[in-house]
Structure 1
Amino acid sequence: MPQSYIKRILDARVYDVARETPVDEAGLLSARLGNRVWLKREDLQPVFSFKLRGAYNKMQRLTEEQRQRGVVAASAGNHAQGLAMAAQRMGVKATIVMPRTTPQIKVDAVRGRGARVVLHGDSFDEAAVHAQVLVSEKQMTFVHPFDDPDVIAGQGTVGMEIVRQHQQPLDVLFVPVGGGGLLAGVAAYVRYVWPKTKIIGVEPEDAACLKLALEKGRRATLPEVGLFADGCAVAQVGKETFRVIRETVDEVITASTDEMCAAIKDIFEDTRGIAEPAGALALAGLKKYVERTGARDQHMLAILSGANTNFDRLRYISERTEIGEKREAVISVTIPETPGSFRKFCSALGRRNITEFNYRYTDDAIARVFVGLTVSPGGDDLPELLAELEARGYETEDLTDNELAKVHIRYMVGGRAPDHIEDEAVYRVEFPERPGALLKFLSGLGQRWNISMFHYRNHGAAYGRILVGVQVPAKDRRAFAKVLDEVGYRYWDESENRAYLLYLGQPEA
């Protein structure tokens, strides 16, 4: 039963290395959302993440013989830093297996604390398999990042502090989820002390392993895992964590990449701290919950779980923030190709701020412009604007939720295919951002088909994104899809995507 964790959490040894982090009210967010919003600042730990708690508590409970053999772990970064610091403090040799997609800032931090780093695989799960190989070959002691009672108890001290610091029961508590260690530990403690508090786990849309397990009633493995929130990039929730979570958690919410980016900005504006995507996940869920339920005048707390992100990733985050907050819309508008038409169109937009305006001459009759513009928070005024533009005779399309438009098309407007390009198939591809990955993709395509379009931009994220046009006759489409499957990267056929057809495909007849 989860109650068995109460004594474990109370007895947890974490404060030799961890800090009791503050619970800060997010004043700007509170005013905007109409609720008292609090942030548990685990980004202020010495390793900028809560993971130090569970790693140190586990290390304290190892036997001397286990410590002498050295410890090994698989981690996307935060558990690695926590274990490295704990091992350094206790004089134990540590080896950390990290995915090759791990942000360099985390790799450097682990090495800086004296641990040996082994880069292997593209995800936590691939790294975990290799860590078990080291356990078998070298008889090292494995320290699991989440599916271990001592680790869960260490993370549970976050919940113990929340109860002590907030003093009165919260209405809703939001906790980020990867493998479930933090959620299990916090939920076990908070459910026992504050039985009426609603506890909600939040996980990325593209790494929702807990949501999958709850839907199936058993642990299941995701076929693919998104890497943007690398701290939560787990394909299967832990066995022990799932047992506890099923008995203590009320609900699970998922958040998109854009919603996480918007939450990162919210955290910065209230704290001047910069959260990593997984660190802002709980707040993204909180905002989604408020929007869905219309909750008002409640006390809500989100755990800000970490702040380990590459600086160059902020470029990508900032680009997606306004859309994630639903303060920016991306639309396509068709206007006459006549003198003065741009001025007339801008006048129709009124005093609305234009964030982006892309155009290239197409033909003598019409011009299509790719427009980014500000909308009211939540985007409630966008339908009214589109209707007004339609009433003025403009053909409009909302591309705000079109991933192809946001990631690629906005940088390629003007590159429409010439008439002699035939059988163009368009694919959007994601691949782990590491040396040789792009070459692997190109080599995998071989020389059978001609590449007619290509766009790639490094966003400072854990994965790269390609938009590729390839001349593939209809009879070869199945064979080409088989080649992409063999390359092994995630891909989407975007040949009929409206943004592509409007701006990059051949002119409509």
Structure 2
Amino acid sequence: MAEVNPVSDQYLLSGADYLRNILRAPVYEVAQVTPLQNLARLSARIGNHVQLKREDRQPVHSFKLRGAYNMMTQLTEHQRQAGVIAASAGNHAQGLALSSQKLEVSATIVMPRTTPDIKVDAVRGFGANVVLHGNNFDEAKIHAEMLAQQHGYTFIPPFDHPAIIAGQGTIGIELVQQNGHLEYVFVPVGGGGLAAGVSVLLKQLLPEIKVIGVEAEDSACLKAAFDAGQPVTLDQVGMFADGVAVKRIGSETFRLCEQYLDDVITVSSDEICAAVKDIFEDTRAIAEPSGALSLAGLKKYAEQQQLQQCHLAAILSGANLNFHGLRYVSERCELGEKREGLLAVTIPERPGAFLDFCHLIGGRAVTEFNYRYNDDKLANVFVGVRLLQGQQELEHIIADLRQGGYPVMDLSDDEMAKVHVRYMIGGRPPKPLQERLYSFEFPEYPGALTKFLSTLGDQWNISLFNYRNHGADYGRVLCGFELAEHDLLSFTTHLRKLGYHWHDETDSAAYKFFLAQ
């Protein structure tokens, strides 16, 4: 196998080189040609011809098999005998495990301890040796590289290698064969291997096709690299779309994306949840969040650019979803589609006030209604309303309520209101407190909450606590502390030493409205 260092300028493949390597990639010895499926309901709703590339139909339910197998076929006999190793939280691991089984090569996969059992079991099912180490991908990767040095394994990277990129690029061949009229192709971006491979292929064959990269807002390493002109390392990444939770774009993938991608767009977690629902309604398939990422970008881009009657395709990159994560998706998809609004409304505490309020809401479906007696004059209500006409309808509701004399606050985009406060309505302290509020994230695994509290310590009194396990890889906690002004410096210094991601939420409007004294 030719030793190619993708971070070196000594040997950079041209677009023609990549085209040749993609056309010669033997991925169909193990991978499938996946369908390009029409999304009839979504197409009618947004006024464009929308199709979905079903990479969830691969034997490992993701596109990662293509790149892993292509690189494995290029190993020398010595490398095959020594075995291979990788670090992965899921899809790359399964792709490499099946490739190793097919080629009869020993494989070791280092996975974070937070990896859902469904993914660990799938990797073991293909015969790979699984090593659980660390609480995130970076810790797993460091351990995998150490094992590679100790045992002489060949490290198979998840995205930043020409052979991996070429394998993923075979999706582009299928796209142009399945629909020669495509005008836009939307590709999810994590480390950039898929986006690099598809864009370089399409631009060699049909350069008029626009290729748009799509990133999660809280993991936008490619956008950060574009802004800086070179790859940069993000301080942290969100874990909801864990398949694209990459802190730094690859060096070779960035070079290709910078040259061949036409644009990049970011989407929120709520917009991803809405895309998961769209896919289910049209296909009855359940995509993982990173798998639905590109369709979320397609919808947002089509709206922003006012596209009409265009031929658009998105790649459903994977469907290895932790089933319990659907709880979160179900709660948030309506918000992502602008089909639900969340409002904080102040109503007078008098007989008939609720009825008057409901008359102003009209015949709309109320999705949530939370109230608790507060005082003799005013009551605070948390209300969810289903919307048929999106943001415009929500603005009409707010205007009607204000005209009726009801102070109202729109919480539809307030993350803390959606994650925590809606489940804590009415929880005010019985006495004045010098209280400050903080949110935390920590890796989910058995005993994680106990470890979090133990690490937090008992030096400061906890005055409020909310924790919800959404079935995701990371748990979220909202915590209030009794803190005098002279305690703030020592407290924040303590937080920085803990190693958890945290944020001061004391100035949150939702907190002040429903929870603060």
TM-score if structure 1 supplies the norm length?
0.97
Indicate the residue corresponding to 2:455 in structure 1: 444
Indicate the residue corresponding to 1:410 in structure 2: 422
| Residue 146 (structure 2) pairs with residue 133 (structure 1) | yes
| Residue 455 (structure 2) pairs with residue 432 (structure 1) | no
Give distance in 2, aligned partners of 1:226 and 1:378: 27
Give distance in 2, aligned partners of 1:136 and 1:41: 37
| Residue 506 (structure 2) pairs with residue 495 (structure 1) | yes
CA contact (8 A) 1:102 1:230 kept: no
**CA shift for structure 1 position 338:** 1.1
User: Could you list the per-position Cα deviations for residues 302-360 of structure 1 after superposition, in whole angstroms to 9, with x for gaps in the alignment?
Assistant: 00000001111101110000001110010000011111211111111001110000011
Give distance in 2, aligned partners of 1:217 and 1:79: 28
Give distance in 1, aligned partners of 2:57 and 2:233: 32
Indicate the residue corresponding to 2:431 in structure 1: 419
| Residue 464 (structure 2) pairs with residue 464 (structure 1) | no
Give distance in 1, aligned partners of 2:285 and 2:458: 48
- What SS does the corresponding residue of 1:114 show, helix, strand or coil? coil
| Residue 180 (structure 2) pairs with residue 167 (structure 1) | yes
User: Could you list the per-position Cα deviations for residues 147-181 of structure 1 after superposition, in whole angstroms to 9, with x for gaps in the alignment?
Assistant: 1111111100001110111123x211100011011
Give distance in 1, aligned partners of 2:209 and 2:328: 36
CA contact (8 A) 1:440 1:487 kept: no
Indicate the residue corresponding to 2:494 in structure 1: 483
Give distance in 1, aligned partners of 2:445 and 2:149: 28
CA contact (8 A) 1:453 1:470 kept: yes
Give distance in 2, aligned partners of 1:284 and 1:127: 30
What amino acid maps onto 2:170 in structure 1? T
Say which is worse superposed, 266-275 or 477-486, in terms of deviation: 477-486
Indicate the residue corresponding to 2:9 in structure 1: none
| Residue 24 (structure 2) pairs with residue 11 (structure 1) | yes
- What SS does the corresponding residue of 2:392 show, helix, strand or coil? coil
Give distance in 2, aligned partners of 1:378 and 1:288: 14
- What SS does the corresponding residue of 1:274 show, helix, strand or coil? coil
Alignment of 1:266-285 (within 5 A): 266-285=278-297
| Of 304, 308, 315, the match for 2:316 | 304
Indicate the residue corresponding to 2:366 in structure 1: 354
- What SS does the corresponding residue of 1:447 show, helix, strand or coil? coil
| Of 92, 109, 112, the match for 1:99 | 112
What amino acid maps onto 1:344 in structure 2? D
| Of 84, 91, 100, the match for 1:78 | 91
Alignment of 1:56-455 (within 5 A): 56-168=69-181, 170-420=182-432, 422-455=433-466
- What SS does the corresponding residue of 1:95 show, helix, strand or coil? strand
Q: What is the total number of aligned residue pairs between the two structures?
A: 504
Q: Which ranges of 4 or more aligned residues in structure 1 deviate by more than 6 Å?
A: none
**CA shift for structure 1 position 125:** 2.5
User: Could you list the per-position Cα deviations for residues 257-276 of structure 1 after superposition, in whole angstroms to 9, with x for gaps in the alignment?
Assistant: 11110000000000000000
- What SS does the corresponding residue of 1:312 show, helix, strand or coil? helix
Give distance in 1, aligned partners of 2:215 and 2:111: 21
Give distance in 2, aligned partners of 1:104 and 1:324: 28
What amino acid maps onto 1:7 in structure 2? R
CA contact (8 A) 1:101 1:462 kept: yes
Give distance in 2, aligned partners of 1:252 and 1:129: 30
- What SS does the corresponding residue of 1:9 show, helix, strand or coil? helix
Give distance in 1, aligned partners of 2:308 and 2:360: 36
**CA shift for structure 1 position 478:** 2.0
**CA shift for structure 1 position 78:** 0.3
What amino acid maps onto 1:319 in structure 2? E
Provide the identity percentage. 58
Q: What is the aligned-residue RMSD (CA, Å)? A: 1.0
Structure 2, unaligned runs of 5 or more: 1-13
TM-score if structure 2 supplies the norm length?
0.96
**CA shift for structure 1 position 43:** 0.5
What amino acid maps onto 2:192 in structure 1? G
- What SS does the corresponding residue of 2:80 show, helix, strand or coil? helix
Give distance in 1, aligned partners of 2:218 and 2:174: 31
**CA shift for structure 1 position 3:** 2.4
CA contact (8 A) 1:441 1:487 kept: no
- What SS does the corresponding residue of 1:319 show, helix, strand or coil? helix
Indicate the residue corresponding to 2:6 in structure 1: none
CA contact (8 A) 1:40 1:303 kept: yes
Give distance in 1, aligned partners of 2:162 and 2:310: 32
What amino acid maps onto 1:90 in structure 2? L
**CA shift for structure 1 position 137:** 1.0
CA contact (8 A) 1:2 1:247 kept: no
